[in-house]
Structure 1
Amino acid sequence: MTEPSRTAEDLYAESLRLLLAKDMSGYAGLWAVDGVMEFPFAGPGYPARLEGRGAITDYLRGYPDLLDIQEVTPHTLHRSTDPGTVVAEFDAAGRVVATGRPYRMRYVAVLTAYDGEITSYRDYWSPLAAAEFMGGIDELTSAFAGGSSNR
């Protein structure tokens, strides 16, 4: 008997579990080989679109060295008319590793899945708020756009 494919809801729940476990390889492994991660509100110098599991893996590799996410609350999951798509609203909280400063950011994510893998993930967040937490826009861009020694 074939095991049923993971739904968009299953993948969202697993993504949170892996994020909190700081398992970025496992997290990136949820994407289809040709899956896409997009940041519609990305600022200048910040990647707006990552194409393919390899690019997503590279982007996420040093994430726990930048942000220590310790909790994701509250989260609300909205089911769409497309059974393969969910919209999630959540806060991620923890600390900025380099400075020890507290971190709390509000997100909205649109996750689309097909055949048990994430095919599209659109991550809506405020680059201005992220820059404030990271110590400035240059620090944010450097950390997440490839300027960090962890990337």
Structure 2
Amino acid sequence: MAKYYQKDGVYALAYAPVDDFPNVGFKRANKGRQEMTDYFTNFSKQLGNLRYSDPKTWTLLQTTQKGTYVFEYSSDGVIRATNKPYQQRFIAILRMAKDGQIQAVREYWDPYVALRDFGLIKKTQ
């Protein structure tokens, strides 16, 4: 994935719960190709069979800034530790550079779903 970004590109997770769960591997920003590669390599060790919805089904929202796109999409996979399904919905703001590579992505997702499904929090009665 990192090869699609500029060398100093940024992949940010705006709602990553890094303050409350500092040792889980969440990061609010992955800067540069190596940090992105490290993040996704670690993430794939925890989540298998990750599939994003077909880009043809993504919602594209109009922006007034040239080279900036907003997408809404979903993914599903299997949590390796429990073999339970994991489903998430996303909104991402993507900025393209003039060279055709991605300059930055800021992805918004529901951290509650991740924390619950990975067993980091439990529902109360």
TM category (shorter chain) comes to 0.7 to 0.9
Report the Cα distance in structure 1 between the residues aligned to 2:84 and 2:58, rounded to whole angstroms: 23
Equivalent AA in structure 1 for residue 43 of structure 2: Y
Aligned to 1:130: 114
Q: Return closer, same or farther for 1:63/1:121 CA change in 2, 3 Å cut-off.
A: same
Q: Return 5+ residue gaps in structure 2 as ranges.
A: none
Q: State how far apart, in whole Å, the 1-side matches of 2:41 and 2:4 are.
A: 14
Q: Which runs of structure 1 show a deviation greater than 6 angstroms over 4 or more consecutive aligned residues? A: none
TM-score (norm 2): 0.79
Whether 2:7 is the aligned partner of 1:33: answer yes
Contact kept in structure 2, 1:87 and 1:110, CA below 8 Å: yes
Q: Deviations over 1:84-124 (max 9, x none)?
A: 11111011112112211011111111111111111111010
Matched, 1:42 2:16: yes
* Partner of residue 69, structure 1: 50
| Structure number with higher strand proportion | 2
Aligned pair count?
Answer: 111
**Aligned-partner residue type, residue 83 of structure 2:** G
Residues 54-111 of structure 1, C-alpha deviations (whole Å, 9 max, x = no match): 1111111233322221341642112321231111101111211221101111111111
RMSD: 1.6
Task: Verify the 8 A CA contact 1:28 1:60 in the aligned structure 2.
Answer: no
Partner of residue 103, structure 2: 119
Q: In the alignment, is residue 80 of structure 1 matched against residue 46 of structure 2?
A: no
1:9-20 paired onto structure 2 within 5 Å: none
Unmatched 5+ stretches in structure 1: 1-26, 138-151
Instruction: Decide whether the 8 Å contact of 2:15 with 2:108 is kept in 1.
Output: yes
| Identical residues among aligned pairs (%) | 32
TM-score (normalizing by structure 1): 0.67
1:106 aligns with 2:89: yes
